[in-house]
A and B are shown apart, each in its own frame.
Chain A
Amino acid sequence: MSDHFITLEQVSKSYNAGSTSHQVLGDLSLNVAKGEQVAILGHSGCGKSTLLNLISGIDYVDSGVISVANTNLTTLSEKERTLFRRQHIGFIFQSFNLIQTLTALENIQLPLQLNRYPATEIEARAKSMLTRVGLNGRDNAFPDQLSGGEQQRVAIARAMVHSPALVLADEHTGNLDADTGREMIELFSELAKSESQTVLIVTHSLAIAKTADRVLRFLDGKLIADDNLDATDLAW
């Protein structure tokens, strides 16, 4: 049994664009410890989001092995990967991706419903989470009635309400102004720490990366640096 919470061994992934194949990740190996907050830094198209998709089991590798919480995702079926993701992973997206037809509270309830929590617990947990992200009283507001910052708060609450062991955030402040973005980072970081959750944040912002325990730098599908940001930020 590995000590690492996430392990990637020689992972490769390519996408086909017409008749040509484009390698997004090549022979990538890395480990992430439990409770660690890791930022993945790189320019657009360097494979950051693909890495999150592979770790979450949304996408599958061409070759190599990915293990999360001692589960080898590459050997699981589509359904098993989905059930694993549902239970152990929370996802936050750049464009919030809230379900427009559901209220803030109902959006937060979704992961609990999917995990078949009892109805009373669904209600209590979702309301408590809504309060924790500072949206008390906005239960019945629909996404289009919320500001960008409020929507992202709901998205954070939805990702963490079922206490997943791993939270993946893909450019989650990309659509927010600087102040709101900073606010979100603090909120997210605080919540994750309080639950000892492992966090992977995809970003191209140095400021956000700075808040993480560790930074992985990507360039053209390759991991070019894996260290503390303070030592390398000038070189970037």
Chain B
Amino acid sequence: MLIGMTLGVAIIFAVDIANESSKRAFSLSLDAVTGRTTHQIIGSANGIDDTIYTRLRTQLGVRNSAPVIQGTINLIGSDGSAEKQYTETLQLLGVDLFAEPMFRNQPGQALPKDDQANGNVSARTNRDSLKLLHNGTVILAQSTAERLGASVGSSIEIADSRFTLTLISTVDTKVQANFENIAMVDISTAQEVLGLHGKLSRIDLVLPLKSQPAPVTQRTKKIEQNIEYIESSIPGVQVIEAARRNNALIQMTEAFHTNLLAMSLLALLVGAFLIYNTVTLSVIQRRTVFGQLRVVGVHRHELFRSIITETLAFAIVGTLAGVVLGYILGSALLTLVTRTINDLYFTLDVRQVSYSVFTLVKACGVGLGVSLLAAVPPALEAANSPPVTVTQRSSMEGRVSKIVPFIFMAGIGLIGSGALVLWISERSLWAAFLAIFFIVAGYSLTIPKLLLSLTSMGNQKTWNPVISYSSLGNYPLRSITASLSRTAIAIAALVVAVSATAGVGIMIGSFRLSVVHWLGDALQSDLYITSTASDNSLPAILIEDISTLENISGTRQVRMLNAETDKSPIRLMAVRNSGTSPQVYSFKDKANRPATPNTANSIQSAISPEARMRLLNTTDSVLVAEPYSTNENIRVNDTLKINTDYGLKPFTVVGVFTNYTSGKGLVVLSMNSFHRYWSDRNIDTIGLTLSQEVNAKDTKKQLRGLLSIYNDKLLMRSNTEIRTQSLEIFDRTFAITHVLRLLTIGVAFIGILSALMALALERRSEYAVLRALGTTPFQLRQLLLWQTGLMGLIAGVLALPLGIAMSKILVSVINVRSFGWTMEYHIPPIVLLESLILAIIAALIAGFYPAYKLSQLSPAEALRHQ
């Protein structure tokens, strides 16, 4: 019983703390780079000119402002030996020390309470901080410095860069937790390291001043005036609320965390099943003892109290052990969660496992609550039955059989409610998860009835092909239904776990297939050349050199930058195709909004891809990636305002295309439009289409020679390499789901094991009779394995419809509502077969130990104690 409770609580707690720790780190990371900032001045995709900051302070008199440069760097550390090098990815935060006090406090000192709550990173001008003014100096978290093997005064190399940084001070993360992911440098150092000479990522503002307390309405008015003043005085900049910008980032990861939470709910359901099963079994298997106690005069209230007290005592121990095990498991899961967030959204390095009181209370509450709830029915049943019948197990099974039709109807009702919730909720992710929960819980309630129906087919000889191999005929099959109160629960737990595996498996399979097709469409060039330089741009001369090569039939030039819009930040991709560079977009016609006569570039819904591309190349128009279209509700014919070097400019959406990249929304425009509104002339990727008649190897060799003169700053990859790498990242992203699915199966496995152990114990005398009739120990082992194999087979068969239903909801509803991705729905038969085999194998493995114990049974002793 303890193992069951411990595992149930552990899985719930583990998923929760992995989720919560990564969320906390993400939130601290955001806070660290935002601080007390209320507003931010942002520019176009290339950042803003640092002269604007000078102008802001000197000419416009906006004193409460601080320039910031933000980027990502990889620091190289070692444990002292030259062989073992270690890379740590950190957020590089470049700040101006003289402007900072208003925004972020002093490193190493405990923050005032409100600042701790806000998680502000400090940089007040104390002696250590002043050393930051020396070029190439850095302040790191103490724990980060220790991991890198760096001490104050030592130099730290930056990966893929000629720069090194000198560590001048460390910050204790116990005092300032949000410093964990940060490398703080002076603004000039940041500009050098990131290659952003003369540029700033943004200017932070605190509006209004703290020294001007005013009523809310007046304060709002003052802010608006300030914003208007800055925007009208400096063309090309936009003032946005810091919280709004952070919210956009938070929303991006929120869907991922919600999905994890759903997995934890699934774990909770299976964990609750397990706890319920084990507690019920522990009570039921001692019915004889309880009957004897009633016979000798123990009152029903006393019996009830003692069962509940005992369960509570076990629950407390099991829950505490579960919390400890969950903490260990959660730490391991955290690595996977962090990796997925890094792959999908944001550079994050989570070192600290954290959990809230709520998480702890939730795990403990489930452990204790479900244990007690599970104990109440059998305890009541044992306490309220007359002494003679307490000792008869058949009385319990008799009652269970009577309520099976009602449980079935309740299950159907829940499934119906789930379908209704799904139908009436339009975009709510929570409603979708609630619907799945209803459907799964409802289906679980139908299991006893379905189990009875399936096994009764044995009477109609349907099971003959299966049971004819059993030396005891119908016995294994009948035993399953004879102990319905426990076998049904064990099978239900396995059904839920296996259906989740099948459902998620089908979803991942469908997703992977869609990604493979999308990569096939998107990666039409044969070779891609990218820059690893800090500003990502390719040398202009290289582009000219490449265009002169004879074996190239087409090129595709791309410039990728971050940009702001009137909605949320985007990743802007400017493209120029030349030669025979093929069409790479798969358009989503469903995203078309009816054309309006007033829209200059309005297009009809059935427009061809070629016409869309023509509009893209000739007008101020953009293509929008499907996730951005879904999340921001932007359709074809809508207008999207993008912050250009000349301020906010409107662009008509002429197409919504399939895209499975994550993070910020991707928006595509033609290079002509880009050059019209941005002064940036750099190219960061060039795709090359090779002439069909040429030898690819020779061309690659030729290109490698051409690239070698750029000192390893350029990278050439074939589309096959990119495709392979993309699919590797895809598979890594879903590693967390594999682990959670395995954990869920593990919990269900323990459920089956405990049910079989109890069955073996209860049926001891029956097995002794079989031994007396001439059943060998080996046959008895076989018998139990037959039984458990049949349970697995039934669970596997029953899991398939639920798995398919779950996968359909995951693909068509959850993914669309979470990430804005629609995908092809594909059921790989192998996933169904795997699920079936998984159920049988999990059940069979669970049967080994009880079967072994059974084969050790002494029939003489069992019969003597009858």
Partner of B772, one of A56, A95, A101, A106: A56
B775 A114 Cβ-Cβ under 8 A? yes
B74 at interface by CB-CB < 8 Å: no
How many cross-chain pairs have Cβ atoms below 8 Å apart between A and B?
87
Are A95 and B774 within 8 A (Cβ)? no
Contact call B773/A79, Cβ cutoff below 8 A: no
**In chain A, what residue has the closest Cβ to B866?**
A95
A182 interface residue, CB < 8 Å from B? no
The segment from B356-364, B818-826, B856-864 found at the interface with A is: B856-864
Give residues of chain B (232-257) contacting chain A, Cβ–Cβ below 8 Å: none
Say whether, besides A49-B864, A93-B769, A97-B769, A83 and B474 are in contact (CB < 8 Å). Answer: no
Given known A-B contacts A100-B482, A106-B473, A111 and B863 have beta carbons under 8 A apart: no
Find out whether the CB atom of A53 lies under 8 angstroms from the CB atom of B394. no
By beta carbon, the residue of chain B nearest A103 is: B474
Q: Is the CB of A101 within 8 A of B482?
A: yes
B766 at the interface (CB under 8 A from A): yes
Asked, given contacts A100-B394, A109-B473, A113-B472, whether A58 binds B777 with beta carbons under 8 Å apart, the answer is no
Chain A residues contacting B860 (CB-CB under 8 Å) are 50, 53, 58-59
Contact of B777 among A79, A101, A115 (CB under 8 A): A79
Residue A204, interface by CB 8 Å:
no
The answer to whether B773 touches A106, judged by C-beta atoms less than 8 angstroms apart, is: no
Indicate whether A97 sits within 8 Å of B771 (C-beta atoms), given known contacts A79-B777, A79-B778, A102-B474: no
Q: Is the CB of A228 closer than 8 A to any CB of chain B?
A: no
Q: How far is the CA of A83 from the CA of B777 in the complex (A)?
A: 11
In the complex, are the beta carbons of A101 and B479 less than 8 A apart?
Answer: yes
User: Which of chain A's residues have a CB closer than 8 A to the CB of B578?
Assistant: none
The listed residue (A83, A101, A102, A109) touching B776 by CB distance below 8 A is: A83
Contact of B774 (CB < 8 Å), options: A82, A100, A109: A82
The docked-state distance in angstroms from the alpha carbon of A75 to that of B96 is: 94
**Within 8 Å of chain B (Cβ to Cβ): is A87?**
yes
Interface size class of A (residues with CB under 8 A): 20 to 34
Question: Contact string, B774-805, partner A, CB cutoff 8 A, digits 1/0?
Answer: 11111100000000000000000000000000
Do A114 and B475 form a contact, CB below 8 Å, given A58-B859, A99-B766? no
Contact present for A85 and B772 (CB under 8 Å):
yes
Residues of B within 8 A of A101 (CB): 474-475, 478-479, 481-482
- B471 interface hit (Cβ, 8 Å): yes
- Give complex CA distance A178, B712 in Å: 103
Taken together as a complex, chains A and B put the C-alpha atoms of A219 and B288 apart, in Å, by 31
Verify if A86 is at the interface (C-beta below 8 Å from B). Answer: yes
Query: Which residues of B sit under 8 angstroms from A115, Cβ to Cβ?
Result: 774
A78 at the interface (CB under 8 A from B): yes
Does any Cβ of B come within 8 Å of A3's Cβ? no
Query: Contacts A111-B774, A115-B774 given: A144-B394 contact, CB under 8 Å?
Result: yes
Contacts of B776 in A (CB 8 A): 78-79, 82-83
Chain B: residues with Cβ within 8 Å of the partner, total of 29
What residue of chain B has the Cβ atom nearest to residue A159's Cβ?
Answer: B773
Interfacial residues of chain A within 54-76, with CB under 8 A of chain B in the complex: 56, 58-59
Asked if B773 and A110 make an inter-chain contact with CB atoms under 8 angstroms apart, the answer reads yes
Q: With the chains together, A114 CA to B770 CA distance in Å?
A: 10
Given that A93-B769, A144-B394 are known contacts, is A114 also in contact with B777, CB under 8 Å in the complex?
Answer: no
Q: Are the C-beta atoms of A86 and B774 separated by less than 8 Å?
A: yes
In the complex, whether B643 has a CB less than 8 A from a CB of chain A is no
Measured CA separation A158–B769 after assembly (Å): 12
Q: How far is the CA of A101 from the CA of B475 in the complex (A)?
A: 7
CB distance from B560 to the nearest CB of A (A): 68
Mostly helix, strand, loop or mixed at chain B's interface? helix
CB nearest to B476 among chain A residues: A101
- Interface centre among B471, B481, B771, B860, by most A CB within 10 Å? B860
CA–CA, A99 and B475, complex, Å:
9
Q: Is B765 an interface residue (CB 8 A)?
A: yes
Bound-complex Cα distance A109 to B773 (A): 11
> Is there an interface contact between A91 and B471, defined as CB atoms closer than 8 Å?
no
Prevailing SS type, chain A contact patch: helix
Task: Give per-residue flags for B382-399: 1 if the beta carbon is below 8 A from chain A beta carbons, else 0.
Answer: 000000000000100000
Our pick among B471, B482, B866 for the contact of A113 (Cβ within 8 Å) is B471
Check B474 against A91 for contact (C-beta < 8 Å).
Answer: no
Bound-state CA distance A87–B769 (Å) is 15
- Closest residue of chain A to B479, judged by CB? A101
The one of A49, A58, A110 in contact with B472, judged by C-beta atoms closer than 8 angstroms, is A110
Contact A114 B478 (CB under 8 A): no
The CA-CA distance from A93 to B472 in the complex, in Å, is 20
Of all chain A residues, the one with the shortest Cβ separation from B774 is: A86
Q: Which of B482, B773, B858, B859 contacts A111 (CB 8 A)?
A: B773
Q: Mark B473-489, 1 if CB is under 8 A from A, else 0.
A: 11100110110000000
User: How many angstroms between the C-alpha atoms of A144 and B773 in the bound complex?
Assistant: 21
Give Cα A83–Cα B771 distance, bound, in whole angstroms: 10
Docked Cα-Cα span, A101 to B860, in Å, equals 22
Evaluate contact between A91 and B773: CB separation under 8 angstroms: yes
B290 nearest CB across to chain A (Å): 20
- Asked if A86 and B773 sit within 8 Å, CB to CB, the answer is yes
Residue interface mask B436-477, A partner, CB < 8 A = 1: 000000000000000000000000000000000001111100
List of A residues within 8 angstroms of B478 by Cβ:
101-102
Contact with A along B840-866 (1 / 0, CB 8 A): 000000000000000000111001101
Contacts of A116 in B (CB 8 A): 471
Does A83 lie within 8 Å of B774, measured CB to CB? yes
B76: min CB distance to chain A, Å: 67
Q: Cβ of B769 and Cβ of A114 under 8 Å apart?
A: no
Residues in A neighbouring B777, C-beta threshold 8 A:
78-79, 82
- Given A58-B860, A100-B482, A144-B394, the answer on whether A106 and B775 have CB atoms closer than 8 Å is no
Closest to A79 in B: B776
When C-beta atoms are compared, the residue in chain B nearest to A155 turns out to be B769
CB distance from A158 to the nearest CB of B (A): 8
Scoring B residues 743 to 784 as 1 if CB is less than 8 Å from chain A, else 0, what string do you get? 000000000000000000000011001111111111100000
For B470, give the chain A residue with the smallest CB separation: A113
Q: Which of the listed residues B394, B472, B772 has the most CB atoms from chain A within 10 Å of its own CB?
A: B772
Instruction: List chain B residues, Cβ under 8 A from A110.
Output: 472-473, 475, 770, 773
Min CB distance A141 to B, Å, is 14
- Chain B residues near A102: list those with CB within 8 A: 473-475, 478
A49: chain B residues at CB < 8 Å are: 863-864
Q: A89-B774, A110-B472 are in contact. List 11 more A-B contacts (CB 8 A).
A: A49-B864, A79-B776, A82-B777, A83-B776, A91-B769, A95-B866, A101-B475, A101-B482, A111-B773, A114-B774, A115-B774
Chain B residues with CB under 8 Å of chain A are 394, 471-475, 478-479, 481-482, 765-766, 769-779, 858-860, 863-864, 866
Shortest Cβ-Cβ A-B pairs, 10 listed: A86-B774, A101-B478, A59-B860, A101-B482, A97-B769, A53-B860, A82-B776, A58-B860, A91-B772, A58-B859
A-B contact pairs, 15 of them (CB 8 A): A49-B864, A50-B860, A53-B863, A59-B860, A78-B777, A95-B866, A97-B766, A97-B772, A100-B394, A101-B481, A102-B473, A102-B478, A110-B773, A114-B779, A158-B773
